[in-house]
Amino acid sequence: MKYALYIFILLGVFLACRKDKVGYKATPYILDIPSHFPDMIIPSDNPMTAEGVELGRFLFYEKKLSGDNSMNCATCHMPQNSFSDPNQYSTGIDGIQGNRQSMALINMGWENFFFWDGGKTTLEKQILEPVINPIEMHESWKNAVKKLDQDMAYRNMFFRAFGEGGIDSTKAAKAIAQFIRTLISGQSKFDVMYKYENSMPLTAAEQSIFQTIDVEEWAGYDIFKSLDGADCFHCHNGPLMRVKKFSNNGLLPNAFNDLGRAHVTNNPEDNYKFKVPTLRNIALTAPYMHDGRFANLDEVIEHYSSGIHMSSTIDPLIEFGSQGGVQLDAQEKYLLKKFLLTLTDNNFVNNPKFKDPH
């Protein structure tokens, strides 16, 4: 009986001292979404975490993801260019050029289609592509993961981001997607104009910006959305400055005869249709169009004014296409450009949270 009591006490002490298994839990990341933006829908299998975003930032700028360790995502999506490429076509590690312009990475968390033809429907799927594309980073994910796995800092970051050991392409893509979802631009002059026009309250800082908006910028905005003016708003609309659609905007087919959306759908009705991009930071993302054919905003404006090429799939909303375009005069073009410059968000391009952490 005496022994039984000792055993009982010993068991009690043992159980009391047993360490519970501790699961690592990453820190939820709260996105800084402007008040006039819709909610961003985050995929349930890739919740935003501070550790995931930080890992994604490192990977975005990680050259080990390319075959010869010379390129990273930022090579073709440069922060100073609002995460776009100032070159008409990006050049991969083997010196091979693509045939489409790199898209700017702005407010991607609200997108449902990626690439100019919408060939991918999630950010996570899209991110897997440039690494393995032979004309881009030209690396297998197996090798890329192996290189990352040799770096203890990455092993630790992956553990902290996902609460388990091991590195793979799915986790890498998820982390980069988390980082890209933080690339939110909503602090331009245009945002103040948009909020004012929709009777939304302005903060003190926005009131100050409001005072700096001049009459030419307001006049340019009127031309932008006027049916008898530039008529831009059908495709570039709302706080995100784009609508979700694929459109043939009257460009002459290029030398590659790029069919755009029809590559994905195989539907001739989609010939020469491309994803409508946002106009945010448009002054920073030259050259323009899916093939970077226009070097500056003046050329873009001239296209819509007098350079429209009619075809069977042209967007019906290019309403003055049969006349060659909206026929703006010199003053209207000047004012329209003034408005387009209000879309520049310097806080976005200078945000230290988006810079190379290496």
Q: Which positions touch other proteins (CB under 8 A)?
A: 35-39, 41, 110, 194, 197-200, 225, 227-228, 233-235, 237-240, 243-245, 269, 310, 312, 314, 316-319, 321-322
CB of 200 to other proteins, least distance (A): 6
Nearer to other proteins, 76 or 235 (CB): 235
Report which of 155, 181, 185 is spatially closest to residue 60, judged by C-alpha positions: 181
CB of 92 to other proteins, least distance (A): 34
CB of 178 to other proteins, least distance (A): 20
CB of 107 to other proteins, least distance (A): 12
Nearer to other proteins, 68 or 269 (CB): 269
Nearer to other proteins, 228 or 329 (CB): 228
CB of 121 to other proteins, least distance (A): 14
Nearer to other proteins, 45 or 228 (CB): 228
CB of 214 to other proteins, least distance (A): 19
Nearer to other proteins, 321 or 325 (CB): 321
CB of 34 to other proteins, least distance (A): 9
Nearer to other proteins, 60 or 194 (CB): 194
Contact by Cβ (8 Å): 92, 71: yes
Q: Could you give the CA distance from residue 100 to residue 259 in angstroms, rounded to a whole number?
A: 12
Nearer to other proteins, 36 or 155 (CB): 36
Report which of 241, 337, 212 is spatially closest to residue 286, judged by C-alpha positions: 337
Nearer to other proteins, 131 or 180 (CB): 180
Q: Is 33 exposed, middle or buried (0-12, 13-18, 19+ CB in 10 A)?
A: middle
Nearer to other proteins, 76 or 318 (CB): 318
In three-state form (DSSP H/G/I as H, E/B as E, the rest C), the secondary structure along the chain is CHHHHHHHHHHHHHHHHCCCCCCCCCCECCCCCCCCCCCCCCCCCCCCEHHHHHHHHHHHCCHHHCCCCCCCHHHHCEHHHCCECCCCCCECCCCCECCCCCCCCCCHHHCCCECCCCCECCHHHHHHHHHHCCCCCCCCHHHHHHHHHCCHHHHHHHHHHHCCCCCCHHHHHHHHHHHHHCCCCCCCHHHHHHHHHCCCCCCHHHHHHHHHCCHHHHHHHHHHHCCCCCCCCCCCCCCCCCCCCEECCCCCCCCCCCCECHHHHCCHHHCCEEECCCCCCHHHCCCECCCCCECCHHHHHHHHHHCCCCCCCCCCCCCCHHHCCCCCCHHHHHHHHHHHHCCCCHHHHCCHHHCCCC
CB of 239 to other proteins, least distance (A): 6
CB of 181 to other proteins, least distance (A): 15
